[in-house]
Each structure stands twice: as C-alpha cells, then as structure tokens.
Amino acid sequence: MPARERLTERRRGYQHNMGYREGVALVLAGAFGLALPGTAMAGLRFAPPVKLKGARDRSEPRIAITPDDRRWIITSGPAIVRGGAEWVYGSSDRGRHWKRTPADPPSGPQPSFDLDIAATRTGRLIAIELDYAGISFYTSYSDDGGRHWTRSVGGAQSGDTDRPWLAVGPDDPTTHEPRVYLLYHNLGSGSAQHNMFVVTSRDGGATFDAPVPITDPVNSPQAYQDLQCADSGGPSSLSVNPRTGRVYAVWGTRSAPFAGGCGASVFGPFEINVVAATRVWVATSPDNSMGSWRTVKVVDDTATNRIVGMQLSPATLDRKGNVYVTYPESRRAYPDYGGAAIKYIWSTPALRSARQARLRLLARREPREESQGCVVHHSRADAQRQVSPSARHEATRLRDPHLHRNR
C-alpha cells in the first residue's frame, strides 16, 4: 500500500470492516470513538464525550451505523435494580447530538444490561436484550428509525440463554434478504452440558432458525471439553465477512491436565460462568450449517495460569477478511489481574494455527491498576464493525497508544 494511502487510512480511524490495525488501537482508547477531548492519536482528534440524556450509568451499550451514516446506540434506561428497559438513541451528525427513538424495543419484565444492536443494508435496526425473567432474549427490529418495533420470531427464546451477540452478513441466496446471526451460550444448564450456539435469520432478523452448536466431542473435542462444567464466561464476539459470508465466533475457557473445564475447577479455583479464562478460542463456519464449524485455539496461557479474558477477548475482521483477536493478558497468574497488557493476535481468513499468527502488544496498564474488559460494538450495514476490548482508562494513560506495525 503506498505511503499516502496508508496515511489516509490511518487518519480515517476505524474502517468499514473494523479491522485496520491502526483503527483497532484508536478504538481501544475511547468508548464509541467520541470520548477523550483533545486527544490526538494517529492523526485523529476525538470529540468531547456526549451524555445520553436519561440513560442509566450502568449498562453495556452498543452501537450500529446504517447506510445513511446515522449512528444508533442501544443502552439501558433508568432502573432501581438490575438493568432498565432497552433504550435506543440516534444521531444524524456523527455522534455530536443524540436523540432517543420515538419508541423503545420490546423488553421483558426484568431487563438486563446484556444488549446488542445491528444494522442491515436496508437500514433495518435489530435490537436484542437478555431478560432475567426466564433468562431469555427479547429480539426485535425496526424499519423506520425506531418509530415502531416488531418482535422477532424465534431467536433462542427458550430460556437459559446468556450474552447475545449479533452480526449481519450478505444476503441469503434464497430470500435475497440480509442474513443475521445471533451468538450465545447456555447458562445454568451449562453445568451439565455447555456449548456456544449460533442462530441464523434469513430474512433480516424477522425470524430465526433453530440453534446450531459450535463445538462437539468429535470435530472439536478439546474446545468442547474445555467448555464443560460451565467453564466459560460466555462468548466474546461474533463477526461475519461481508463478502464471503464466513462467520467467526470467539470465546474464552480454562483447561486442566485432564477433564478440560471440569478439571479446571479441580486443579484450580472453582469458577462457573464467570471465569478467568486462560485460553481463547476462535471458531469459523461458512454458513452456520450443522457440523460446519471448525475451532482453533489462538491463545493458551494454561501453563502459566495468566488470565487472557477479564471477561471478554473479542475479534474483528479487516477488508481482506483477516481475523484479529484482542485480549488482555495479566502479568502474573490468577488471581492477580494487575498490570495486564492489551495484545492482539491475527490470522488469515483460513485461521492459521496460533503458532503461526503474529503477536503484537497494543498497550500495557500500570501494575497498580486492575484490568476489566468491556466491549463497544460498531455494526455497520455494509460491513460489520466491531471494537476490541477497552481497559477502563483514558488513552493518555496508555504507555503505547499506537499499534506496532507488522514486520
């Protein structure tokens, strides 16, 4: 790539396909790309932070961008306990001003702050919320900018489902409508039989098919074994290549000399569902058909017991379809979370082995601080954009705010 073109891409910040290496570092620095007034990174200046009027301070907000370049944020409304109802805000001036949509997506009686939002090429918004009542998802869509919302049919509403992630792919060859994917894991029942599941919608999120398990004892025995006894904090991210339609799911686990996740609570501290992961897995499928998933272990700190999750370690794609996984890695063994470095590892679309992938350090936190992973998601209609985990601190406190270039 010519130097002038590289400079242009660097100044542009995060790209259509979420993945340019310079762009990943920028998003690590500021939630939504709106915070950190006066901070200059890689030729960009961040605008002052904008408060979403009325929104709750404790939530896990997500963002999507429709083809008309409007931004949409889903977050939680006010609540005395737990999460508030789903609230969606829109911005037509690239995040300078935000206005709540005329109507709210349908929420259950006990909404949580596990939320996500995605946008399709048609401008449709798809929102999802995990509800504590039945531990199930409330999924809905709007074709008019949030004036009206329609409840989706299906979409893992059977109960005992947790941590939903949405991603939009190219059009389905049969319906000619955008495919939408939903990733989640089973919660309480994971103590007996645990897995990651992906559900497909072939009509832009209006209806969803039956869940498809990602791992199994035959095709991915180690990944499957590590998930057992609920030894995972849940999925970290879901991405789709907008050209090929290939799907990528990421999650973390622990392991042990034998018995995988069940053995991890024998050889190490007992943990269930909220797990200090020592491994990161990436799975890929061309279309989420049954039996099509293939898993790759991309990070493994089992021997040193260093933490690589804290709770999430999400992935992203660049325009060529290369896969990037970002993760915080503690300096010392569990339970010491302090001083974690934010790293990334990347591979070609075919997912080479972790030994072949190139590892780079993004930033290291001060030893006195405790890392806490959080994720902001940028979902664009013409290509999903997903943001890596951000430590809970400002960019000015990063020792190395720029990504190291690949050699």
Higher pLDDT: 350 or 235? It is 235
pLDDT, one tens digit per residue, over 44-57 is 778 889 999 999 88
pTM of the prediction? Answer: 0.82
Taking 50 as the threshold, does the pLDDT of residue 309 lie above it? yes
Number of domains, the chain:
1
Strand positions, DSSP E, 301-372: 315-317, 323-329, 341-347, 358-364
Taking 80 as the threshold, does the pLDDT of residue 288 lie above it? yes
Q: How many angstroms separate the CA atoms of 44 and 75, rounded?
A: 26
For residue 361, name the pLDDT band (cuts at 50, 70, 90).
low
Q: Chain centroid to CA 134: how far?
A: 23
Span of 73-82, 188-197, 274-283, 342-351 with lowest mean pLDDT: 73-82
Q: How many angstroms separate the CA atoms of 80 and 235, rounded?
A: 28
Would 374 be classed as within a structural domain? yes
Pair 68, 112: CB distance under 8 Å: no
Q: 3-state class of 227 per DSSP?
A: helix
Would 184 be classed as within a structural domain? no
pLDDT score at 377: 40
pLDDT score at 201: 98
- The whole-number average pLDDT for the span 166-192 is 96
- The whole-number average pLDDT for the span 204-217 is 96
For residue 278, name the pLDDT band (cuts at 50, 70, 90).
very high
Higher pLDDT: 394 or 217? It is 217
Taking 90 as the threshold, does the pLDDT of residue 68 lie above it? yes
- Residue range(s) defining the domain that contains residue 256: 3-38+215-397
Higher pLDDT: 267 or 198? It is 198
pLDDT score at 389: 33
Taking 60 as the threshold, does the pLDDT of residue 403 lie above it? no
Sort strands 196-201 and 323-329 into parallel, antiparallel or unpaired.
unpaired
For residue 310, name the pLDDT band (cuts at 50, 70, 90).
confident
Give percent above pLDDT 70 in the chain.
74
The mean predicted confidence, pLDDT, of the chain is: 80
Would 190 be classed as within a structural domain? no
For residue 364, name the pLDDT band (cuts at 50, 70, 90).
low
Residues 6+ apart with CB under 8 A from 124: 141, 142, 143, 178, 204, 205
pLDDT score at 284: 97
Structure token pair of residue 402: 């720029």
Taking 70 as the threshold, does the pLDDT of residue 379 lie above it? no
Q: How many angstroms separate the CA atoms of 241 and 403, rounded?
A: 23
pLDDT score at 61: 93
Sort strands 136-142 and 62-65 into parallel, antiparallel or unpaired.
unpaired
Taking 80 as the threshold, does the pLDDT of residue 366 lie above it? no
Would 245 be classed as within a structural domain? yes
Taking 70 as the threshold, does the pLDDT of residue 23 lie above it? no
Span of 64-73, 173-182, 253-262 with lowest mean pLDDT: 253-262
Would 339 be classed as within a structural domain? yes
pLDDT score at 79: 78
Other CB atoms within a 10 A radius of the CB of residue 92 amount to 14
Would 194 be classed as within a structural domain? no
Q: How many angstroms separate the CA atoms of 318 and 349, rounded?
A: 10
- The whole-number average pLDDT for the span 326-342 is 91
Residue 149 amino acid letter: W
pLDDT, one tens digit per residue, over 148-164 is 999 999 877 778 899 99
Q: 3-state class of 384 per DSSP?
A: strand
Q: How many alpha carbons lie under 13 Å from residue 51 in its C-beta half-sphere?
A: 4
Structure token pair of residue 264: 């991890």
pLDDT score at 40: 46
Other CB atoms within a 10 A radius of the CB of residue 280 amount to 28
Would 147 be classed as within a structural domain? no
Would 390 be classed as within a structural domain? yes
